[in-house]
Amino acid sequence: MNDAATQPDPIFVAQAERQSTRAQRFALLAGLLIGAYLALQLFASILLPFVAAAGIAYFLDPVATRLTRHGMPRGAAALLLVFGLIAAALLSALLLYPLVISQIGLLIGRLPSYIAAIRAFSAEVIANLQQRLGPEFVDEKLRDLVAGQASAMLSFLIGALSRVIGGGFALFNVLSLVVVTPVVAFYLLRDWPRVIARIDSWLPRRYAGVLRAQFREVDRILAAWLRGQAICCIILALFYATALSAVGLDLGLIVGLSAGLLSFIPYVGTITGGVSSIGLALAQFPTWTGVFMVIGVFILGQTLEGYVIYPRFLGDRVELHAVWVIFALFAGAAAFGFVGVLLAVPVAAAIGVLSRFWLRRYLGSPLYLDPPAQG
């Protein structure tokens, strides 16, 4: 980009010597917000590779900066990191795909026995209820209906899981994610310092200091959350996948990996993985010992997560409340789909920082400090 083309016009500089009005500042802010919203609405369907690439560049920028300080050119460092990330993703896919497919095949082979076990279990529960409450409360038709619906629900869940797993791995064949994302990530990572410097040069001079301070605060919170949360999710995914496979749970690898990776949504990963694992354990194990072992895995996982993993990698550096993160993720998904999910946490961090900034301004203003009126 030509630097001369981005320099302020002398005529506008002369006109800007007059102080801007409150209405002009409000119009500029409103225009930026409306423009960003319209851009997301218009281009949400094609933004996924670019938003993912920006996230990758932001995540890898500290590593690239360290490599640059050790004498490696920025472009070479960006190329090395992007190729390393691609190699790690391909290696993970190649290692996991056969294991996942084999577990799905094993589950499908055992599905008839699971259905029979669930039918027998539900029939036993209904029979016990009928014995305790009487035939007028629980009749034979209801017992058959419950047993049939239980097996139908299990068949539906297994089929849906198979489609989700197949669709998730099919994403590797999507051209936009395989080709566009690494290319854009390389260019963004290579030019990241220049991009930040250019954006800094566009800040309004009157508020540049305040805006830089807020951006630094957002960067501190966002970096702590993203990098810490990524490490925590990987550790939990490995723990749950290994532990559930060790206790002999069919599909334990898939459920464990899903539970760990979904842990970036507070409580959702644990609840989803726990319910799925317990349901599979009830269908698979003939005694309660296996079910209690699966429950023990998740109790141990929650203990490690709450007292070891999260305090070590997140601690008190993250000022994002769990409820605020959950709301932001669901609101982003409802508004802009998967792109909204990717943008949810950065936007939530920015809103949180700005809210605390304006709250401090309010608590130090006469609007808050004025004494009560004397009657």
Find out whether 285 and 252 touch, Cβ atoms under 8 Å: no
| Structure confidence at residue 142 (pLDDT) | 52
DSSP secondary-structure letter at 321?
Answer: -
Q: How far apart are CA 302 and CA 167, in angstroms?
A: 29
375 residues of the chain, pLDDT tens digit each: 455 555 555 544 445 556 667 788 788 888 888 988 888 888 877 788 888 899 899 989 999 999 999 989 999 999 999 999 999 888 887 887 777 777 777 777 776 776 676 667 666 766 776 676 666 555 555 555 555 555 555 555 555 555 544 444 444 445 667 778 899 999 999 999 999 999 888 888 888 888 899 889 888 888 888 878 888 888 999 999 999 989 888 788 888 888 888 887 777 788 888 888 888 887 777 778 888 999 999 999 888 887 888 777 766 556 677 788 888 888 888 888 777 887 888 888 888 888 888 888 888 888 788 787 775
| Structure confidence at residue 321 (pLDDT) | 76
Continuous H helices in the chain: 10-15, 22-43, 48-69, 74-133, 140-170, 175, 181-201, 208-246, 252-261, 268-284, 288-304, 310-313, 322-336, 338-363, 366-369
Q: How far apart are CA 255 and CA 101, in angstroms?
A: 13
Q: How many CB atoms lie within 10 A of CB 49?
A: 21
| Structure confidence at residue 171 (pLDDT) | 46
Find out whether 189 and 78 touch, Cβ atoms under 8 Å: yes
| pTM of structure | 0.68
Q: How many CB atoms lie within 10 A of CB 220?
A: 15
Q: How far apart are CA 46 and CA 57, in angstroms?
A: 18
| Structure confidence at residue 79 (pLDDT) | 94
Find out whether 225 and 320 touch, Cβ atoms under 8 Å: yes
| Structure confidence at residue 176 (pLDDT) | 65
Positive or negative, the CA dihedral 230, 231, 236, 242 is positive
| Structure confidence at residue 83 (pLDDT) | 93
Residue with tokens 């008190």: 316
